[in-house]
Structure 1
């Protein structure tokens, strides 16, 4: 569900017309719906309201401070994967004891900052990382709360580049080594073993991979307790998908309540705190990218719409062959037919293509279009390739909106660089 709807022929974000925002701030821009963000977080959190649960929002999916602050006020914690994301979470008011630090490449400097912030848990992914964290914790005269991320060797069934739970993936400690590494961790003076962590990937729309991985993980918890470890937390990651092709019931993921029922059945007997790191399912349908058509180009056999947005603004189609529904900001009439268009950006790359042979109403230069389900992994992956300014972001809440990330000028971009005297 989202709050982007047509009213009297015009697309609105909640109670604000997108054309009005475009006139005020220019294009392209991301627009987020506060109502959708709140609703999606509440639906997930409420599904586990009867359990000891930490819902640590995955900051990497949408890291804007305004969004983090909004979710913090709903009770969200944070799952971070860098020192920068840790600073974002803390700046947004998320307390350290509701922050989980994930990722395969934590530096000692990042570890020290996280210990000073008093984070809830480090999700450790390798023996070298475990040893480094032990050293840092000892040097700070403390112990680091740890869950080891175990790779259950379960294929998630999603895109190859966002599947993380197979034996050949870079993430986590191999299943066969888990008990040995826990034995090592239990003997390190700077490490406090707290739980088990597992995360098998992203954009998963089928419960079966989750159930297989979580059943294996529950078995591991029992085995570790038999080995003498006091396992009190079970971190089951994120990964619950969202519908990118609206109206396609077959691609719809399970509702969080159904997901929760499965988890409670498996994890209920373990008497552990449950930790989740949802990102996409909260932010995906809460955001859109609005772009203006610059040119309508006739090719030999194709019609191109050249937009003012590009792959540097929304890289998912180029990176993952990802689908985003595209709709006009002005609602087409019921009598109009459909035309097949390739929607492309102005960047000098063939990969700067958002959609091929997409059926759309006839569109013209200067028309606005909206890419749906762009809230997750959209603005966070934006770049300044071709010296194109970082895309502007807007948050709508009811009948009001605010710019929550400005568009830098070219002068501001160039001011970040310097030329040595000797050049």
Structure 2
């Protein structure tokens, strides 16, 4: 793997370390919340509605988070948001320790924590462009995926063990501790103030960002294809029920970890992805393979075949993510990077939320296997349709794209000016 971003940038190392720690605890809670909801209600719909409750705060706070990321000190936004996430995790822990945990707390704290994370995420995404060199953005995308997968393999498996053996309270407690440790690292990052002529956070600045995104069909392709893939094929809300149907409830954490196993393999072997220049076509192929893998899960006879299918889906999704992140960081002007990161958040976060709601409703109608199979096939159809409708996205090439060339020239000129000074 290309480790040059970690070697060359102190701030990237701190962000990377913080991300590893935080992701570890967050993914433990990702297992704990649906499991606790299933134990309290026994309802497909109640579990699916957790994602729906998180949708509105994600949309509103994601867009606003992008606006403030371009207008304020990004380090301050990241640190304050991390503190807020610590509080919500502690609230979930306290609720789980009660003799009669309240269902509404899961919905409310889930919504609040999603809102805070959505405020923070655009700043985290935009900071990468600032602290990593232009020609290292592809390598940074691979490393970021590796960081995510490190936690996503171990944490869900541990989370499944913690909630089934020791209860949800301990799982939330571990999440709370990880936020404390993460804050120690984030505090050491240098100040990252906005440019002197940065537009203040406002509705007008949000509209400017949306207008820029809509005007670039290649960017719209990255958003729309990912949303379609997630809405039609995301189905993690079904995992507690799928584990029961497979007569392997103890394998719940394994199912949550499966996608990350595939994604980790894709990340470790992903140096080739950083050299790909036609990322748009790569996103299309990877998203279609994600749908095929999810549809195959519906036919899997046992938990190990299900694991393999989900792992293949995770690998395809990770390759798609690497290509999308590289396109974003190599072509978007820095003065718009925060607002566009907010729009990106809507694309890769709204899809899974809506997808889990879709999966739960379809499971209520036709069962778990029907929801998985039909959703995967619908994903493939939607991706192919979008590919046909967006030729500029399909034909994107970083070697000739005007936006990629302009951003590369700007970064080189800035580096030369800094060296001269």
Q: What TM-score range do you get, normalising by the shorter chain?
A: under 0.3
Query: TM-score with structure 2 length normalisation?
Result: 0.24
Query: TM-score with structure 1 length normalisation?
Result: 0.24
Q: When you count helix as a share of all residues, which structure comes out higher? A: 2
